[in-house]
Amino acid sequence: MANNMKKSDKKTFISSTGDKYTGEFTENKYGEFTGKGIIEYATGDKYTGEIINDRYHGKGIKEFADGLKYTGEFKSNDYHGKGTIEFANGDKYVGGFKDNQYYGQGTYTHANGDKYVGGFNDEGCYGQGTLTKACGKYVGGFNKNVRNGKGFLEMADGNRYVGEFVNDVLKKGTRMYPNGDKYVGQFGYRGNYGSFFQEGSQFIPNGQGTYTHANGDKYVGEFICNRYTGEGTYTNANGEKISAYFSSDIKILKKEIWPEKGKGNWYKDEEISIVRDD
């Protein structure tokens, strides 16, 4: 704020830097001003509201020359309390602030229509929240602006996921497919790592899991990159079971059992194609 200002009969003060104060202000012995009014800065910025000892304090509006606008509560020049920020690019935040940071509950709406509603701390989205985009909706835990903790993700393509997210990636949970298939187990990631949403089915079976087909067939065993790969058991809707080693091209290899030794060898006895959604 400006010092060495002189009061005029029109309640207008001009600083040595060219800033203009208009309103009801009083000056203390240190040359600091307290009151309520409008400050028009030589830089093109503008403040309308309350001032205590040359600091924004209380309710006010700060408009910047670059198009950004804050409306709400201030504490010692900082955004602090409830307020709204409107960005020049069309984005908007409404909610809590602490020391110039988003804090507490708030809503951030992007110009493209994407919206986050939930908790914030000084590192970004935090706690429980909902993020809605054109390609899907996520409801659950956040930390440092990414999905962390238990959550539910519903994609526009019909895939639904529920489970435990770690650093934006689903590690363990359930995937429900549009065709009625269902997978429960461990997951891997396919796609551009780091993007919050990607069109299509980015979280895929990887590790131990159970895949149940809509027709009642079921596979229990190992997966690698969305394929039955490793030891597993395939049970059809009639209850017939096949213990097998599965190759990455989703073909079944039967197992020869040696009961007396409790061991077995895998051999290529029959190839059976399994049809599944990706």
pLDDT in tens, 118-170: 999 999 999 999 999 988 999 999 999 999 999 999 998 899 999 999 988 89
Asked whether 181 and 191 are in contact (CB, 8 A), the reply is: no
pLDDT at 222 over 50: yes
pLDDT at 37 over 80: yes
pTM for the whole structure: 0.81
Please report the pLDDT score of residue 243 as a whole number.
78
Please report the pLDDT score of residue 274 as a whole number.
52
pLDDT at 254 over 90: no
Q: Whole-angstrom Cα distance, residue 135 to residue 133?
A: 5
Q: Count CA atoms within 13 Å of residue 83 on its CB side.
A: 25
Tokens matching residue 95: 């909610």
The answer to whether the Cα torsion of 4, 8, 12, 17 is positive or negative is: negative
Please report the pLDDT score of residue 266 as a whole number.
45
Tokens matching residue 46: 């503008």
Asked whether 206 and 224 are in contact (CB, 8 A), the reply is: yes
Which DSSP state fits 1? -
> For 72-96, how does the pLDDT look when each residue is reduced to its tens digit (9 = 90+)?
999 999 999 999 999 999 999 999 9
- Name which of 200, 201, 199 is nearest 183 in CA terms: 201
Higher pLDDT among residues 192 and 19, named by residue: 19
Please report the pLDDT score of residue 249 as a whole number.
46
Q: Which helix (H) or strand (E) holds 169?
A: strand 169-176
- pLDDT band for position 197 (cuts 50, 70, 90): very low
Please report the pLDDT score of residue 253 as a whole number.
56
Adjacent-strand bridge partners of 115? 109, 132
Name all domains of the chain by residue range, CATH numbers in brackets: 1-104 (2.20.110), 114-278 (3.90.930)
Please report the pLDDT score of residue 11 as a whole number.
79
Q: Whole-angstrom Cα distance, residue 210 to residue 243?
A: 14
